[in-house]
Structure 1
Amino acid sequence: MPPLVVWLALIASVTAAATWVARQYALRGNLMDQPGDRRSHHVATPRGGGIAIVLVVLVVGCYLMSRDLSGRALWIGFLPGLLIVAGIGWWDDHRPLSPWLRLVVQAVAALMLAAGAGWQSGHWLPALLAFGAAMVLVNVWNFMDGINGLATTQAGLAAVAYAGLLAGEWRWLALALLAGCLGFLPFNFPKARIFLGDVGSGALGFMLAGLVTAASIAVPPGSVPLLMLPLSIFLVDAGFTLLRRILRREPWWTPHVTHLYQIAARRLGHGPVTLAYAASSGVTLSLMLVWPRSTWGQSVSVAVTVYLVVSFVWFASRRGLRE
């Protein structure tokens, strides 16, 4: 295995080259996101650039699976699941599909990851976590991919967090995801020359679900609740916004601009909001990595406290921006 810096630089460079190719493809094929009332951008922008991250992670994952002789069950669930989540997203980028069809395909991928987790661990709890994480994170990353750099930076930071917990081939996969995000980011932040598209946002969520699952098998059971800390910023914003839309009887599955990050971006600009979310996630992931090994009850208490604080900040920020 090459040294860490070489590994990161190689994957980031390949991803950047693939993103450039994806941009040319999108421009020639007129795969463009047009501005509108339900968008946070103001100029037509190519989409589908996340295919570069997907392809790189798939290739790296196949290589790592060949080296991980004792852990192939989880790989067998993860890699095909990633392929079909990215595939339905790529199709949707070309020809918009029913959200319910996409949800069914995502459920199949989640079941594949869950089967791999159950097979690998020999227990049903990792399988349940895998299914839930895949279904939630695929859609949360799709919901939260609305301003420049936000979904990519959050995925990269979460990858750093899980790389700090994992060992062996799954650690290298987390680092590959980080490098892929770094290679894509110059095309998307601070100015967006291409968007992730559904192929990228959904796939990032599934990759993180795979890392959460692998970490849940690797860490002591008492530390499992802490795995949710690096995801808290996105889960709170997406969760409360979704709940609000459901209670208001709005079509929650359609595009909109009512997430906190979208409201803040209209007031402050994309760059400051993306950096603020990154700083907040940096705090939560650091807490996960430095918190000592503890009992299940202590970990749950820490996780609940963090989510309560993040929720308070969410409500306070939303009220402040509204005023």
Structure 2
Amino acid sequence: MAVWSLAEWAIVAAVALVLAASCTHFSIAYALHRQLLDQPGQRRSHQVPTPRGGGIGIVVGALFVIALFAAQSESSIRALALSVMAAVVVVGMVGWIDDHGGLRARTRLAAHCLAALVLLATPAVLIGLSDPITGRGALLMYTLAAVFPGLAIVWSINLHNFMDGIDGLLALQAMFVLGTLAWICLLTGYPGQAGCIGACAIAAGGFLPFNFPRARIFMGDVGSGVLGLLVAIAVLWQMATPGIALASGIVLCSAFVTDATCTLLSRMLRGRRWYSAHREHLYQWLVRCGFSHARVVALYMGWNLLIVLPAVYWMNRMARTGASIVDGPTTNRFGPAVAVYALACTVWWLGKRWCLRNVTTRSRHAAA
């Protein structure tokens, strides 16, 4: 089956954009009718009641893109694409239900684990069916090797949910990560992957005008969970693709991974109920210090453009030329990622210290 051209993928992306924007537009009236409103409060960063659930547009757009990618792929890739669609449906459905009334944390976590299992089980089945005798050992090895990707997928879903707290931040971050990965895939000779990942990034852009710079509707768990899933899939897909620097996707996600992980560890070390709602991420502290949502988003995008993008460009340039970055293959693969994350943790710590000195509403800061 022929691989689609860039022009054909551009048409797919345009349709996905229109679908996402249209669904988001209609979801505003739906949310108002059903009274699906996020009220201002101690643990919120907004000041007026705002509808939620607009991320359903992203889900519809992404499913459209992945379905067309499956249709033009060979059978083995089609099976993987269909498993991605199933995982998106699971995460999206749980988020949609949660946006309508709330689910227990353990129920959401179980659904996220199910989505990861659905996503990772298809390759295992293909390995076993390829040779029922010799495939048993490979199946066991794959199962063991899938533990880390499975945990990464579940963490990514929840991480992006944690970071969806101010206007435009999550949508722009997802567009940056997916768009950059699509560009890297295109430069390294994988137009099919590039088209699919890039079109999903464009689908996320269909939601953005309704949420930034002023939110008419929030993404909700239906959108944040699915974007976290799509980012995890794209990063894992990139890591398995020859010719691309292994840690590219990990570096691209550094802003969100650092803020969410450092905040979680900080709360755990201080004996807080780390699993409860709070306003202790760096982006939330910056808002509480008087920064507008747009200014905070600009700071995060500035990190992406000034630090992350040059680092990823350099990593992939070294990967294409076969040059050693420092001294040996391990350093060549992970040295730049370690450096970026060390800098990110330093910036997070310094930013948090600055906020603690300058915040005007430190009391009753939702230290649950």
Regarding TM over 0.5, the answer is yes
Match of 1:197 in 2: 220
Alpha-carbon contact 1:229-1:303 (below 8 Å) kept: yes
For residues 286 and 86 of structure 2, the distance between their equivalents in structure 1, rounded to whole angstroms, comes to: 37
Match of 2:159 in 1: 140
Alpha-carbon contact 1:162-1:171 (below 8 Å) kept: yes
Structure with max Cα Rg: 2
What amino acid does structure 2 have at the position aligned with 1:159? L
For residues 198 and 310 of structure 2, the distance between their equivalents in structure 1, rounded to whole angstroms, comes to: 17
User: Which of residues 180, 186, 200 in structure 2 aligns to 1:177?
Assistant: 200
What amino acid does structure 1 have at the position aligned with 2:63? L
Specify whether residues 119 and 31 from structure 1 end up closer, same or farther in structure 2 by C-alpha distance, changes over 3 A only: same
Task: Please give the per-residue CA displacement for 1:90-130, whole angstroms capped at 9, x wherever unaligned.
Answer: 00000111001100110111122222355678773873453
What amino acid does structure 1 have at the position aligned with 2:182? A
Tell me the SS of whatever aligns to 1:38.
coil
Please say if 1:319 is aligned against 2:353: yes
Match of 1:159 in 2: 178
Match of 1:114 in 2: 120
Alpha-carbon contact 1:118-1:126 (below 8 Å) kept: no
- Equivalent residues in 2 for 1:153-302 (5 A)? 153-166=172-185, 167-220=190-243, 223-266=245-288, 267-282=290-305, 283-291=307-315, 292-293=318-319, 295-302=329-336
- Equivalent residues in 2 for 1:84-95 (5 A)? 84-95=90-101
Tell me the SS of whatever aligns to 1:145.
coil
Specify whether residues 136 and 276 from structure 1 end up closer, same or farther in structure 2 by C-alpha distance, changes over 3 A only: same
Alpha-carbon contact 1:67-1:169 (below 8 Å) kept: no
Offset, 1:206: 0.3
Q: Which moved more, 1:188-197 or 1:67-76?
A: 67-76
For residues 120 and 319 of structure 1, the distance between their equivalents in structure 2, rounded to whole angstroms, comes to: 51
For residues 179 and 67 of structure 1, the distance between their equivalents in structure 2, rounded to whole angstroms, comes to: 19
Match of 2:366 in 1: none
Task: Please give the per-residue CA displacement for 1:41-99, whole angstroms capped at 9, x wherever unaligned.
Answer: 11000000001000111122111111111412421331111110111000000011100
Alpha-carbon contact 1:137-1:209 (below 8 Å) kept: yes
Q: Structure 1: which 5+ residue stretches go unaligned?
A: none
Match of 1:11 in 2: 16
Specify whether residues 8 and 297 from structure 1 end up closer, same or farther in structure 2 by C-alpha distance, changes over 3 A only: same
Specify whether residues 286 and 182 from structure 1 end up closer, same or farther in structure 2 by C-alpha distance, changes over 3 A only: farther
Offset, 1:155: 0.4
For residues 286 and 55 of structure 1, the distance between their equivalents in structure 2, rounded to whole angstroms, comes to: 33
Please say if 1:29 is aligned against 2:34: yes
For residues 49 and 106 of structure 1, the distance between their equivalents in structure 2, rounded to whole angstroms, comes to: 20
What amino acid does structure 2 have at the position aligned with 1:261? Y
Q: Provide the aligned C-alpha RMSD in A.
A: 2.0
Please say if 1:62 is aligned against 2:87: no
Tell me the SS of whatever aligns to 2:221.
helix
For residues 113 and 193 of structure 1, the distance between their equivalents in structure 2, rounded to whole angstroms, comes to: 33
For residues 230 and 145 of structure 2, the distance between their equivalents in structure 1, rounded to whole angstroms, comes to: 16
Match of 2:344 in 1: 310
TM-score normalised according to structure 2 size? 0.82
For residues 157 and 116 of structure 1, the distance between their equivalents in structure 2, rounded to whole angstroms, comes to: 28
Give the 4+ runs in structure 1 shifted more than 6 A: 120-123
For residues 253 and 84 of structure 1, the distance between their equivalents in structure 2, rounded to whole angstroms, comes to: 22
Q: Structure 2: which 5+ residue stretches go unaligned?
A: 128-137, 358-368
Offset, 1:214: 1.5
Task: Please give the per-residue CA displacement for 1:148-192, whole angstroms capped at 9, x wherever unaligned.
Answer: 000110000000121023324332221122111211111001100
For residues 120 and 205 of structure 1, the distance between their equivalents in structure 2, rounded to whole angstroms, comes to: 26
What amino acid does structure 2 have at the position aligned with 1:109? A
The share of aligned pairs that are identical, in percent, is 35
Offset, 1:229: 0.3
Tell me the SS of whatever aligns to 2:245.
helix
Specify whether residues 260 and 239 from structure 1 end up closer, same or farther in structure 2 by C-alpha distance, changes over 3 A only: same
What amino acid does structure 2 have at the position aligned with 1:29? R
Tell me the SS of whatever aligns to 1:218.
coil
For residues 120 and 184 of structure 1, the distance between their equivalents in structure 2, rounded to whole angstroms, comes to: 36
For residues 337 and 234 of structure 2, the distance between their equivalents in structure 1, rounded to whole angstroms, comes to: 18
Tell me the SS of whatever aligns to 2:255.
helix
Match of 1:150 in 2: 169
Alpha-carbon contact 1:139-1:205 (below 8 Å) kept: yes
What amino acid does structure 1 have at the position aligned with 2:241? A
Alpha-carbon contact 1:48-1:200 (below 8 Å) kept: yes
